[in-house]
Amino acid sequence: MKLALLLHAYQPPTQFPEVLRKIAKETYLPLLETLQQVNTGKVTMNLAGSLVEQLRVQGLGYIVDGYVDLSTKGVIELVGTAAYHALLPKLPTSEIERQDSVNRLINSDLFAARNPKGFFIPEMWNNLQVLSSISDLGYKWTVLSESAFPGAGIVEQGQHASLGTNKKLYVLKDKELVLFFRDRPLSLMLAFDHTLTYKKALRAIKEHIDYSGDEYVILAVDAETFGHHIKGNLSLLRELLDSDELEFVGISDLLTLPLEKHEVAPVEATWGAMEQENGERVFVRWDNKDNPIHALQWELFNLALSVGVHESVSPDILDKALHSDQFWWASMAPCWHAQMIIRGADMLYQSVAANAEDNDDVQKAKGLYDSLVRRVNENGAGEVRIC
């Protein structure tokens, strides 16, 4: 069986510089050094434009240069994405295309070695419009939550035990985009098990292989899992990638497997928490209808979109203002970071102020921003709660 590991590296444009430097010290640099020492395994990696841009601004461009070198040598396979981690189902097709083109512009040196075949969807929040747009942009594959698999329902612990998805290659209905489905249980083990050892991980992977009969497994986690979220597990990553008992390949390598292709029409899903309400999926960490702060954020977001213009191909304030983290931190499930919420709202307001031709829109945006700040202060202005 072939295994493919996708690492997602991203920081929002509102990130505090000192936090970025801390994570760079704990993850981005030691992860680079670890991958430079790997002898056999290959990793697929998303280096979002938002992160790359900030690393360079903070004088950490040498880290980016290291990943350029790894890409050139074929140690890592890089993918495309939305530059500022916007939630793509909330955007018109033109803005999805814009996020992709801005990401390509920021990462032009990273992509110089080879054009990315894959696309990482922020939070893996897919719908058919998003998938169609990715296909039309020329990408060959993307990875979805296995809860997006038709018929999987909303089983949070993963559906592979009953459906065994990875015996075929799945293609988006009426398109050529290949859809891979993330193995949730094994990915969560890697992301959250602070006691995980090489032997424990190997045993879990082998048990999965024996049980499922799958031809391949997709593991997908935040890159910050290694070193930042879990201290000391970079050695585990190297052991796994260099293991004689496992074969880690790039996700694009899976496209050559001699497997039957089967058309599917995935259902809307993310790799985060979901709930079922009135027969529909509700994505509570980003768009909770019962969360008054979310309601204000989305109203301000949609106003910024409606009046937004792009004067050039270069990144602008609207591109950055669309980032997802402001909603995640406002979810109170239990994520909460007052300053990140306010910084995001301010960026949306500034985007309206810079682009609106009608002063009434600017005043409306200011009113929404003020209301949002009041709500945040009522819920704990200085408090931080991490999921």
Quote the pLDDT of residue 158.
47
Assigned domain for 225 exists? yes
Asked whether residue 136 is assigned to any structural domain, the reply reads yes
End-to-end CA distance of the chain: 33
Provide the b/e sequence for 335-374 (b: ≥16 CB within 10 Å): bbbbebbbbbbbbbbbbbbbbbeeeebbebbeebbebbbe
Per-position pLDDT tens, the chain of length 387: 799 999 999 999 999 999 999 999 999 999 999 999 999 999 999 999 999 999 999 999 999 999 999 999 999 999 999 999 999 999 999 999 999 999 999 999 999 878 999 999 999 999 999 999 999 999 999 999 988 998 776 555 444 444 566 889 999 999 999 999 999 889 999 999 999 999 999 999 999 888 888 899 999 999 999 999 999 999 999 999 999 999 999 999 999 999 999 999 999 999 987 777 777 788 999 999 999 999 999 999 999 999 999 999 999 999 999 999 999 999 987 889 999 999 999 999 999 999 999 999 999 999 999 999 999 999 887 778 776
Q: Does residue 260 sit in the same domain as residue 339?
A: no
* 254 shares its domain with 290: no
Is 381 domain-assigned?
A: yes
User: Cα–Cα distance between 276 and 288 in angstroms, integer?
Assistant: 12
Are 19 and 135 contained in the same domain?
yes
CA atoms of 330 and 340, how far apart (whole Å): 9
Do 73 and 209 lie in a common domain? Answer: yes
Residue 213: per-residue pLDDT: 83
Same domain assignment for residues 246 and 301:
no
Q: Flag whether 273 is in a domain.
A: no
6, part of any domain: yes
294 shares its domain with 235: no
Question: How many separate domains does the chain show?
Answer: 2
Secondary structure, 3-state, the chain: CEEEEEEEECCCCCCCHHHHHHHHHHHHHHHHHHHHHCCCCCEEEEECHHHHHHHHHCCCHHHHHHHHHHHHHCCEEECEECCCCECHHHCCHHHHHHHHHHHHHHCCCCCCCCCCCEEECHHHCECHHHHHHHHHCCCCEEEEEHHHCCCCCCCCCCCHHHHCCCCCEEEECCCCCEEEEECHHHHHHHHHCCCCCHHHHHHHHHHHHHHHCCCEEEEEEEHHHECCCECCCHHHHHHHHCCCCCEECCHHHHHHCCCCEEEECCCCECCCCCEEECCEEECCCCCCCCCHHHHHHHHHHHHHHHHCCCCCCCCCHHHHHCECHHHHHCCCCCCEEHHHHHHHHHHHHHHHHHHCCCHHHHHHHHHHHHHHHHHHHHHHCCCEECC
- Which of 264, 298, 331 marks a domain boundary? 264
Domain with 248 in it: what CATH number?
Answer: 3.20.110.20
Give me the amino acid identity at 265: A
Any domain includes 277? no
Domain stops at, among 230, 264, 298? 264
The verdict on residue 82 lying in a domain is yes
290 shares its domain with 171: no
Neighbours of 203 (CB within 10 A): 11
Do 237 and 145 fall into the same domain?
yes
Indicate the pTM of the whole model.
0.95
Q: Which domain holds residue 97?
A: 2-264
Are 181 and 107 part of one and the same domain? yes
Query: In this structure, are 30 and 77 located in the same domain?
Result: yes
Quick one: 235 and 339 in the same domain? no
240 with 132, same domain: the answer is yes
The per-residue pLDDT for 387 is 66
In a domain, 244, yes or no: yes
Which of 264, 296, 331 corresponds to the end of one domain? 264
